[in-house]
């Protein structure tokens, strides 16, 4: 109890504004979302329940909410479809009237073509941590007045100085590699005392982290991506905020957060949310417990909290040109709230993509959180999840375990055979590793052959492939602690001894893996079968796993040999898909062969063939 009170209530309250702040700081004319609730925050701004007024044609105040904390006002605005863009004042009549400038901006043009266009199975996502990828502007490495002043590249726990300009500087590198979409760990302000580098503890939703370059740098990144035909994915966090968020330091009302008689952590047990035999109290702990003591859990049942979060998500799409959201810690949110949030986003932006982090174990567990074919009371409207199942119970055992009736590559086959549960398995985001997991190169014992099999599978299987930064240059690390898998990309900082953004800086093995990814990812850009084709796989036999991606225009045959010996591949065993073709072109080597004779595939390797008539 004492520890909890220390964390939450004995922090210095920040309330001495000379001018109140307003969130969202502006909105747009012509939006489908034409009713918004603005939060006004300032010292004693709500004392005496003052009248609030504005004058702008087509904009009306429908209700003013006076809440427990007099430092807040919540004002409901209705914006007519006929309202024009322009500036106006919101006036609070309290002693000396306080005026707050507000703006209705013109709505962006190009919805569905230049932004909010969605991320699909035609894309290849690159995930990076801005602080650890590249430092494009050393001037923002430290910002005066922020709580975390660390800057030490020798420490895995301190800030390193990477930023959005660093990402911009290497967009051509990513585009050349075959990447079509960029997902970064959160870019919103994290004014926390330490470990602020990861970005998951927001302290002000409407400020882009200044040490990453701020809002203008983020807009520039979106612009530079879109002009290259690439897409922007934002990492959204609805479940929690940082302990130093102003709404935690100075809560608008008593139930803004989930609070307990004593500190209560989430159990991390997703099963309690759908288990028909679950204890209700354990379900509540899973959903309402705090993710960590430094990340207070938001109460989505509070309508003001819900409005604040949903409006912010819509605001980000319109402000920065976001094409999709990866939603952090999806299972820990109130799921009815998430359905409401997802619907609001898709009503405004029908092509937008939404996929949730569901670090769970079991295909049914994972499918519960997205659109599925299960006959259950709760039906999620989330399009897809991050597919941990094809990682933990698929590609990892496929390359690391000996083949057996239920072992080795049979686990990959078994996991993919469960796709009947998903409404659309092609939306599932597949990956080899990420910022929370040991790097794939380390997981496979630094075996380059296994890495090559992994990436070949990633770029040919059903779903949306996602790669973690540095995978292409064999970055390694075990997550104990997580900082070891969040190291700097060599060459991203002035003065780095090697620059692995260039071929000259890579070792022969690194270049081998880089070339494989580049070749296959760029082939994939033009391959209708790999982007949107159907998936058919054959039962693994003696460690040999064969699957096809195909449509009316193209057939791709993928052969994975997980053995430590050569295996024969006989096209006649795969008549359902190979019949009618006379030759096969090796996508990675350019070699051509006849389908009338068998060929040998090397140990622990994968071959990708385009079949031709």
The full set of domains in the chain, from first to last, is 125-529 (3.20.20.80), 531-612 (2.60.40.1180)
Q: What pLDDT sits at residue 613? A: 95
pLDDT score, position 2? 30
Q: At what angle do helices 303-320 and 335-348 cross, to 10 degrees?
A: 30
Nearest-angstrom CA–CA distance, 168 and 223: 10
Output phi, psi for 90, to 5 deg.
-100, 120
- Spell out a b/e string for 171-185, using b for 16 or more CB atoms within 10 Å of the CB, else e: beebeebbbbbbbbb
Please state the length of the chain: 613
Cβ neighbours for 377, distance < 8 A, ≥ 6 positions apart? none
The rounded distance, in Å, linking the Cα atoms of 371 and 362 is 16
Q: What is the largest CA-CA distance in the chain?
A: 91
Distance (Å, whole) CA 590 – CA 383 = 37
* First and final C-alpha spacing in the chain: 73
What tokens does 181 get? Answer: 């979409």
User: Tell me, what's the pLDDT at 17?
Assistant: 46
Please state whether the peptide bond connecting residue 24 to the residue before it is cis, i.e. omega within 30 degrees of 0: yes
pLDDT of residue 94: 82
- Phi/psi for 67 (5° steps) reads -110, 180
**SS3 annotation, 491-525:** CCCCCCCCCCCCHHHCCHHHHHHHHHHHHHHHHHH
To which H or E segment does residue 53 belong? Answer: strand 51-54
Mean pLDDT of successive 10-residue segments in the chain (613 residues)?
38 56 98 97 96 98 98 98 97 92 94 89 98 98 98 97 98 98 98 97 98 98 97 98 98 98 98 97 98 98 98 98 98 98 98 98 98 97 98 98 98 98 98 98 98 99 98 97 97 97 98 98 98 98 98 98 97 97 98 97 98 97
- Taking alpha carbons only, the member of 543, 542, 533 closest to residue 577 is 533
The partner residues of 74 in beta bridges, in order of sequence, read 39, 65
What pLDDT sits at residue 1? 29
Looking only at the bridges linking them, the beta strands covering 353-356 and 125-128 are: unpaired
For residue 234, CA distances in Å to 305, 354, 466, 472 come to 20, 10, 14, 22
pLDDT at 96: 86
Our CA angle for 221, 224, 225, nearest 5°, is 85
> Which residues lie closer than 8 Å to 96 by C-beta, 6 or more apart?
none
Residue with tokens 């050349």: 176
Cα-only R_g, the chain: 26
The full DSSP string for 560-601 is: EE-SSS-EEE-GGGGHHHHTT--EEEETTT--EEETTS-EEE
Distances (CA, A) of 611 to 61, 584, 587, 589: 64, 4, 10, 14
Contact indicator for 404, 440 with CB cutoff of 8 Å: no
To the nearest 5 percent, what fractions of the chain are helix, strand and coil? 30, 25, 45
Backbone angles phi, psi at 220, to 5 degrees: -65, -40
Handedness of CA 515, 520, 523, 525 (dihedral sign): negative
Query: What is the spatial order of strands in the sheet that 72-79 belongs to?
Result: 21-23, 35-41, 72-79, 59-66
Which residues lie across from 61 on neighbouring strands?
77
Cα–Cα distance measured from residue 471 to residue 223, given in angstroms and rounded to the nearest whole number: 26
**Catalytic residue IDs:** 328, 357
Torsion sign over Cα 389, 120, 517, 166:
negative
Q: In what order do the strands lie in the sheet with 534-537?
A: 534-537, 544-550, 555-561, 605-612, 583-586, 592-594
| Nearby residues of 454 by Cβ (< 8 Å), 6 or more positions away | 395, 399, 432, 440, 444
CA dihedral 126, 559, 393, 366 (to 10 degrees): 60
Q: What is the pLDDT of residue 113?
A: 78
The Cα 175–Cα 181 span in angstroms is 9
Please name the residue that has the structure tokens 């930064």: 469
How far is residue 493 from each of residues 41, 138, 307, measured CA to CA in Å? Answer: 39, 9, 41
Q: Give whole-number Cα distances, 429 to 99, 383, 387, in Å.
A: 47, 11, 5
Quote the pTM value.
0.96
**Pairing between β-strand 583-586 and β-strand 605-612 as defined by DSSP bridges:** antiparallel
Work out whether strand 21-23 and strand 35-41 pair parallel, antiparallel, or are unpaired.
antiparallel
Of 288, 272, 269, nearest to 280 by C-alpha is 272
Residue 71 contacts by C-beta under 8 Å, 6 or more apart in sequence? 15, 41, 42, 43, 44, 45, 46, 250, 252
């Amino acid at each position: 109890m004492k520890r909890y009170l220390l964390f939450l209530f004995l922090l210095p309250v920040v309330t001495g504004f000379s001018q109140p702040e307003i969130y969202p700081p502006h909105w747009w004319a012509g939006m489908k979302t034409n009713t918004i609730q603005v939060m006004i925050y300032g010292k004693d701004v709500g004392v005496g329940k003052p009248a609030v007024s504005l004058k702008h044609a087509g904009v009306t105040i429908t209700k003013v909410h006076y809440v427990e904390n007099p430092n807040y006002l919540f004002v409901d605005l209705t914006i007519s479809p006929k309202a024009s863009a322009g500036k106006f004042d919101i006036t609070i009549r309290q002693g000396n009237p306080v005026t707050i400038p507000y703006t209705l901006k013109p709505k962006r043009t190009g919805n569905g073509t230049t932004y909010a266009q969605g991320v699909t199975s035609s894309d290849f996502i690159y995930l990076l941590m801005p602080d650890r990828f590249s430092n494009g502007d050393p001037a923002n490495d430290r910002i005066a007045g922020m709580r975390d002043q660390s800057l030490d590249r020798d420490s895995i726990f301190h800030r390193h100085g990477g930023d959005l300009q660093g990402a911009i500087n290497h967009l051509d590198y990513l585009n050349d590699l075959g990447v079509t979409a960029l997902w970064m760990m959160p870019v919103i302000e994290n004014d926390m005392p330490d470990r602020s580098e990861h970005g998951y503890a927001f302290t002000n939703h409407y400020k882009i982290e200044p040490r990453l370059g701020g809002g203008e740098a983020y807009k520039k990144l979106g612009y530079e991506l879109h002009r290259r035909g690439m897409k922007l994915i934002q990492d959204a966090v609805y479940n929690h905020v940082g302990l130093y968020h102003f709404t935690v330091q100075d809560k608008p009302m008593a139930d803004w957060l989930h609070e307990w008689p004593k500190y209560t952590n989430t159990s991390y047990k997703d099963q309690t949310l759908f288990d028909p035999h679950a204890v209700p109290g354990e379900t509540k702990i899973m959903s309402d417990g705090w993710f960590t003591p430094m990340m207070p859990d938001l109460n989505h049942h509070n309508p003001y909290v819900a409005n604040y979060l949903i409006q912010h998500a819509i605001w980000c799409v319109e402000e920065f040109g976001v094409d999709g959201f990866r939603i952090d810690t999806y299972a820990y949110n109130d799921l009815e709230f998430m359905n409401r949030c997802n619907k609001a986003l898709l009503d405004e932006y029908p092509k937008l993509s939404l996929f949730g982090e569901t670090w769970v174990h079991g295909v049914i567990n994972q499918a519960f959180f997205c659109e599925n074919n299960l006959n259950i009371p709760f039906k999620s409207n989330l399009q897809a999840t991050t597919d941990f199942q094809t990682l933990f119970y698929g590609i990892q055992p496929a390359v690391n375990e000996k083949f057996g009736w239920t072992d080795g590559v049979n686990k990959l086959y078994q996991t993919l055979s469960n796709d009947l549960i998903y409404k659309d398995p092609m939306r599932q985001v597949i990956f080899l590793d990420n910022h929370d997991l040991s790097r794939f190169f380390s997981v496979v014992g630094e075996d380059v052959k296994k890495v090559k099999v992994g990436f070949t599978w990633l770029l040919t299987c059903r779903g949306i492939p996602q790669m973690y930064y540095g995978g292409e240059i064999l970055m390694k690390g075990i997550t104990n602690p997580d900082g070891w898998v969040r190291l700097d990309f060599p060459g991203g900082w002035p003065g780095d001894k090697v620059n692995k953004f260039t071929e000259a800086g890579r070792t022969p093995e690194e270049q081998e893996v880089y070339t494989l990814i580049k070749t296959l990812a760029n082939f994939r850009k033009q391959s209708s079968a790999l982007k949107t084709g159907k998936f058919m796989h054959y039962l693994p036999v003696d460690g040999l796993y064969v699957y096809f991606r195909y449509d009316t225009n193209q057939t791709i045959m993928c052969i994975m040999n997980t053995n430590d010996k050569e295996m024969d591949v006989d096209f006649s065993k795969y008549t359902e898909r190979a019949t009618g073709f006379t030759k096969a072109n090796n996508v990675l080597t350019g070699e051509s062969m006849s389908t009338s004779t068998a060929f040998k595939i090397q140990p622990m390797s994968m071959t990708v063939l385009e079949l031709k008539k």
